Amino acid sequence: MDFLNALVALSNFVLIPAIAYGSQLALGALGVTLIYGILRFSNFAHGDTMAFGAMVTILFTWWFQSMGISIHPLPTALLALPFGIVVTAMLLILTDRTVYRFYRRVKAKPIVFVMASMGVMFIMNGVVRFIIGPGDQRFADGERFIIRARDFKNATGLNEGLAFKTSQGITIVTAIIVVAVLFWFLNRTRTGKSMRAFSDNEDLALLSGINPERVVMITWIIVAALITIAGTLYGLDKTFKPFTYFQLLLPIFASAIVGGLGNPLGAIAGGFVIAFSEVTITYAWKKVAVYLLPESLEPSGLVQLMSTDYKFAVSFVILIVVLLIKPTGLFKGQSV
Amino acid sequence: MSQSLRTPVLFFVVALLFILEGSTSFWVFSGSWNSSLAILNMALISAIMALGVNLQWGYAGLFNVGIMGFVALGGLATVLISMPVTHGAWSQGGIGIVFGLLVGAATVIAAVLLHTRMAAGRSRTLAVLGTLIVGFFVYRYIFDAGVAGVEAINPAQTGFLGGLNPGGPDNYKAHGYMTVLAWPVGGLLAAGAAWVVGKTALGLRSDYLAIATLGISEIVIAVIKNEDWLSRGVKNVIGLPRPVPYEIDLQQSADFVARADSLGLDTTTASTLAVKLSYSALFTVVLVALIILAQLSLNSPWGRMMRAIRDNEVAAQAMGKDVTKRHLQIFVLGSALCGLAGAMMTTLDGQFIPGTYQPLRFTFLIWVMVIVGGSGNNFGSVLGAFLIWYLWVQVEPLGQWLMAVITSSMADGSALKDHLINSAAYMRLFSMGIVLLLVLRFSPRGLIPEK
């Protein structure tokens, strides 16, 4: 019984949140990795673009809510998601046309792209705060839980409750669908293949008649879809606040690099590595330890390795360790 | 326009902006010398940060986006040097904290030594892991007890170790010079952190260095926010001593009142102006000294070597230059300047509030300054710092004016009008982004390009 209780506590506080968070990071990291693979720079505006996508979705959600459209028990935000993606895609294509295309044409160094992306980051940051403000926004509706803690306790007779939030369920399911579609697209369709060819060897791809501008445009559209979904899911699961999205930049980059920049499979693995490390290192293990250890050995403290505020430190340390030991990442990414 | 003419003209234009802000209340200018000097003081500090970034980027091509962390470390130094020691803090836990940290450091060193000395294999992995795990728990045991002891001392007022101010809790404000002593210490602290970062991350490609520095700056802020024993964390340290006189003392001095009268100023304004001017004078001395040093280094063989490395690493390596070592050197130097500026900024604020350190304001804005001013040129970075800081402050009234113009035809009380007027403050980030993109696109070498 104690073992089961420990297992439930572990799933409730570690496994489920980490899987949900990992899925969100993986979607974000896929975007970073695609931009790196095709456009060959680290996009610093990624976090703020994510905030923009989530913001547009929220605005559509509010509009739908005010008109009484809903897909109960699912959150209305899912219905608004396609609209958010379209608007974000248009914005990203617009930034590409006005900002990045010029540097591609003059064949600027990657660092110039990074700086330009810093400028874009400032603008996005301002636009998001200008439209929706810097504060927390609520937009979640529909059924809150798939499994409630109390129902679970009643049904199983265990002391520990297991709560499974709808947002977590949706995150996991959506992430699986999105990743499956993305991989099908990259591996099976002609356009996807041309993208991979472009990423592997630009000159050879150009030689075989692949239109670079088209590849870039499709990349931005996919990126828009990925980060709008990731941003909305993160907002549903936790909360929407523009600054938290900026801060997500670090774990997202860490995921992409740990997995191997430019490698989509690596981005997913990296997302889960980072999410699980963050959650396990900042979780107070006392609850689990109480069930597993005999009473005499019960810990007096919280058995928390690090306070939750150090979660950035976790992704950072993993990032550095991987960079030092295996600079191409866990899965072979592009050379360093 | 030739560059020898361009530099003074641009500096004159910027000076004119500051004069307008002080003298006329037309349009967005406030007509207050107090406001003008307040902008100037922060601009002087920003100029030092910009010099530091220019050292790293302009001379050596290192892309550091962790400026915020180094600035915060400088601020921490001001607290650690200029505040009085908390009574009993050292006996009730301070020693435990230091001992705990030493145990932690010893654990890491032992693990690294084991890793290098033992032959690869399962026994090595086990030994390293065992050392780390045992060391971690011993460290936490000693360290946590010390932290609890320190933080228990009057937590509402102190609850931290305090600093080195000889005046004691009652009289520490009389020792205002301690804050000035803290400036170089801030530089040293930042330099130490930069050495650790540089040692690990400088061998990597430029984007990776950027991400590594971004990470380290977030960690520095997280540590400062959480380690209450160090600088009270988010409870903030207020009432730092000052190297310049207090307004209230000036107002009570008969001599000062008489002098203010003879200038035709009322005493309150005169005292605030005098305090701000003294800060400006202090900061100007530091800035001018640093510009002279930076110019000398730029034109020395060392500076030429740096630029050679920046322009072609492989060629420089072939000429026998140790690229990694030189990069580390300049990375440490540039970060030290940021730390120094951070200490000066905390002195100017008179308080240390970790929650105010935002990467957009302290990292990316400094980058905008360097790029707009002209990377590789010290005068360019300084000019960029003055101009961009001025804009950063003035965009707010400008945004409000703009919104007032846009909304003037709308009905009063309409939701859109209220929203637009309330959101004017976010014009700042937006306009900085536009400025950066425009400069990067049309004048990538900045206002005053490198020669």
Tokens of A205: 């791809």
Q: Does B445 lie at the interface with A, CB-CB under 8 angstroms?
A: no
Asked if residue B236 and residue B159 are part of one domain, the reply reads: yes
With both helix axes pointing from N to C terminus, report the angle between A264-282 and A16-39 in degrees, rounded to the nearest 10: 140
Q: Does B132 lie at the interface with A, CB-CB under 8 angstroms?
A: no
Contacts of A99 in chain B (CB under 8 A): 437, 441
Tell me the C-alpha distance between B340 and B343, whole Å: 5
Hey, are the CB atoms on A309 and B226 less than 8 Å from each other? yes
Task: Tell whether A105 is covered by a domain.
Answer: yes
Backbone region of residue B212 per phi and psi (left: phi > 0; alpha: psi in -120 to 50; beta: other values): alpha
Q: Looking at residue A333, what is its pLDDT?
A: 67
Asked if residue B225 and residue B115 are part of one domain, the reply reads: no
Over range A280-287, report the average pLDDT: 83
Task: Tell whether B435 is covered by a domain.
Answer: yes
Q: For A146, phi and psi rounded to 5 degrees?
A: -85, -45
Q: Looking at residue A215, what is its pLDDT?
A: 93
Hey, are the CB atoms on B436 and A112 less than 8 Å from each other? no
Of A102, A122, A257, the CB nearest to B433: A122
Of B144, B428, B437, the CB nearest to A116: B437
Task: Tell whether B15 is covered by a domain.
Answer: yes
Which of B120, B152, B184 lies at the terminal end of a domain, its last residue?
A: B152
Query: Which H or E element spans position B352?
Result: strand B351-352
Which residue does chain B place closest to A316, by CA atoms? B215
* Contacting residues for B65 by C-beta, under 8 A, at least 6 apart: A44, B210, B213, B214, B217, B359, B363, B364, B367
Q: For B30, phi and psi rounded to 5 degrees?
A: -90, -20
- Structural domain including A116 reads 2-325
* Contacting residues for A201 by C-beta, under 8 A, at least 6 apart: none
Of B428, B430, B440, the CB nearest to A115: B440
Asked if residue B276 and residue B143 are part of one domain, the reply reads: no
Which of B152, B182, B204 lies at the terminal end of a domain, its last residue?
A: B152
Q: Looking at residue A334, what is its pLDDT?
A: 62
Rg, Å, chain B Cα set: 25
Which of B79, B105, B72 shows the shortest CA–CA distance to B190? B72
ipTM score above 0.85:
yes
Asked if residue B159 and residue B147 are part of one domain, the reply reads: no
Average pLDDT, chain A: 88
Task: Tell whether A334 is covered by a domain.
Answer: no
* Contacting residues for A173 by C-beta, under 8 A, at least 6 apart: none
Asked if residue B436 and residue B349 are part of one domain, the reply reads: yes
Asked if residue B370 and residue B300 are part of one domain, the reply reads: yes
Instruction: Classify B237 as helix, strand or coil.
Output: strand
Over range A217-242, report the average pLDDT: 93
What is the tally of structural domains in chain B? 2
Tell me the C-alpha distance between A135 and A55, whole Å: 12
A191-205, A234-248, B164-178: segment of lowest average pLDDT: B164-178
Q: For B197, phi and psi rounded to 5 degrees?
A: -60, -45
Residue with tokens 């234009």: B13
Tell me the C-alpha distance between B429 and B159, whole Å: 37
Higher pLDDT, A309 or B367: B367
Task: Tell whether A332 is covered by a domain.
Answer: no
Tell me the C-alpha distance between A140 and B167, whole Å: 56
Q: Are A223 and A92 in contact (CB under 8 A)?
A: yes
What is the tens place of the pLDDT at every residue in B194-248? Answer: 998 888 888 777 778 888 888 888 889 989 988 888 888 888 888 889 998 888 8
Asked if residue B365 and residue B301 are part of one domain, the reply reads: yes
Contacts of A126 in chain B (CB under 8 A): 426-433
Q: Are B357 and B71 in contact (CB under 8 A)?
A: yes
Task: Tell whether B448 is covered by a domain.
Answer: no
Q: Are B107 and B131 in contact (CB under 8 A)?
A: yes
Query: Which H or E element spans position A145?
Result: strand A145-147
Judged against a pLDDT cut of 90, whether residue A123 lies above it is answered with yes
Query: What sign does the CA torsion over B435, B440, B446, B447 have?
Result: negative
Which residue does chain B place closest to A117, by CA atoms? B437
In angstroms, how far apart are the furthest CA atoms of chain A? 72
Task: Tell whether A336 is covered by a domain.
Answer: no
Task: Tell whether B297 is covered by a domain.
Answer: yes
Judged against a pLDDT cut of 60, whether residue B410 lies above it is answered with yes
Q: Are A55 and A131 in contact (CB under 8 A)?
A: yes
Q: Looking at residue B332, what is its pLDDT?
A: 95
How far apart, in Å, are the Cα atoms of A52 and each of A241, A258, B15, B143, B280? Answer: 11, 26, 38, 43, 41
Of A131, A316, A327, the CB nearest to B219: A316
- Secondary structure letter of residue B119 according to DSSP: P
Over range B291-309, report the average pLDDT: 92
Task: Tell whether B76 is covered by a domain.
Answer: yes
**pLDDT cut 90: percent of chain A above it:** 46
Interface test with B, best of A94, A130, A252, A257 (most B CBs within 10 A): A130
Tell me the C-alpha distance between A167 and B259, whole Å: 69
Asked if residue B249 and residue B145 are part of one domain, the reply reads: no
Q: A68: pLDDT confidence band, cut at 50, 70 and 90?
A: confident
Q: Does B242 lie at the interface with A, CB-CB under 8 angstroms?
A: no
Judged against a pLDDT cut of 60, whether residue A43 lies above it is answered with yes
What is the tens place of the pLDDT at every residue in B239-281? Answer: 889 998 888 888 888 888 888 888 888 888 889 999 999 999 9
A26-45 residues touching B, CB cutoff 8 A: 41-42, 44
Tokens of B269: 């304004």
Judged against a pLDDT cut of 80, whether residue A304 lies above it is answered with no
Which of B369, B410, B400, B407 shows the shortest CA–CA distance to B58? B369
Task: Tell whether A81 is covered by a domain.
Answer: yes
Q: Does A110 lie at the interface with B, CB-CB under 8 angstroms?
A: yes
Task: Tell whether B451 is covered by a domain.
Answer: no
Q: Looking at residue A336, what is its pLDDT?
A: 39
Task: Tell whether B129 is covered by a domain.
Answer: yes
Q: B357: distance to nearest CA of chain A, Å?
A: 13
Hey, are the CB atoms on A99 and B214 less than 8 Å from each other? no
Q: Looking at residue B18, what is its pLDDT?
A: 92
Judged against a pLDDT cut of 70, whether residue B1 lies above it is answered with no
Average pLDDT, chain B: 89
Which of B356, B214, B429 shows the shortest CA–CA distance to A52? B429
Asked if residue B332 and residue B258 are part of one domain, the reply reads: yes
What CATH number is attached to the domain comprising A160? 1.10.3470
Tokens of A283: 């979780």
Asked if residue B133 and residue B201 are part of one domain, the reply reads: no
Tokens of A306: 């690090």
Higher pLDDT, A161 or A332: A161
- Structural domain including B138 reads 90-152
Which of B115, B133, B152 lies at the terminal end of a domain, its last residue?
A: B152
For residue A137, list its beta bridge partners.
Answer: A240
Rg, Å, chain A Cα set: 21
Task: Tell whether A331 is covered by a domain.
Answer: no
Of A122, A131, A323, the CB nearest to B429: A122
Higher pLDDT, B363 or A303: B363
Asked if residue B212 and residue B320 are part of one domain, the reply reads: yes
Q: Looking at residue A335, what is its pLDDT?
A: 44
Which amino acid is present at B418?
D
Asked if residue B128 and residue B22 are part of one domain, the reply reads: no
